[in-house]
């Protein structure tokens, strides 16, 4: 299956610890990620948090399984997503102090069947940009 990777770096007006705490909470993704309308079945084991996020599309709601690996010392986190249609996504977020705020870099790697590739890539990039804008808004930028 084809694999695509891309990254986006942006600034938020909050310190890394506050951004990390927000991103480490699965409930924060409701509305942060524009397709996510609910989060359920949250389980924490050490530095790993697993949950099911419900993504709403025009004609359907898809449950996606997410496993986050947290690294408060870096600080950062990695989310591994398993979606219907054999789509797999990995999002690695690093947080770097920048003045009074934080520089956030999200690197996404997505694997999808050839038939879905263009759609999945377009959606993943659009969601990434919207998530960045919403995180900046929530953090006071």
17 with 75: CB under 8 angstroms? yes
Residue with tokens 């995180």: 135
Class of domain 3-138: alpha beta
pLDDT interval class at 83 (50, 70, 90): confident
Say whether pLDDT at 74 is over 80.
yes
Task: Return mean pLDDT, the chain.
Answer: 93
Residue range 39-49: mean pLDDT, rounded: 96
Whether the model clears a pTM of 0.75, i.e. scores above it, the answer is: yes
Say whether pLDDT at 35 is over 80.
yes
Residue with tokens 């690197």: 107
Domain residue limits, the chain: 3-138
Distance from C-alpha of 136 to C-alpha of 101, rounded to nearest angstrom:
10
Q: What local confidence, expressed as pLDDT, does residue 141 receive? A: 59
The runs of H, that is alpha helices, within 5-69 are: 16-23, 29-32
What is the DSSP annotation of 91-106?
A: EEEEEEEETTEEEEEE
Count CB neighbours of 93 within 10 A: 22
């Amino acid at each position: 299956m084809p694999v695509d990777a891309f990254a986006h770096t942006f600034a938020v007006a909050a310190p890394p610890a506050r951004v990390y705490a927000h991103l480490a909470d699965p409930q924060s993704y409701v509305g942060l990620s524009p397709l996510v309308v609910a989060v359920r079945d949250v389980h924490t084991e050490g530095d790993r948090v697993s949950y099911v996020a419900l993504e709403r599309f025009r004609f359907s709601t898809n449950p996606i399984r997410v496993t986050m690996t947290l690294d408060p010392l870096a600080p950062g986190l990695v989310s591994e997503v398993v979606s219907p249609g054999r789509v797999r996504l990995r999002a690695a977020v690093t947080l770097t102090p920048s003045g009074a705020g934080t520089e956030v870099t999200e690197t996404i790697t997505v694997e999808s069947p050839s038939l879905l590739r263009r759609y999945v890539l377009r959606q993943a990039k659009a969601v990434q940009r919207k998530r960045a804008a919403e995180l900046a808004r929530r953090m006071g930028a």
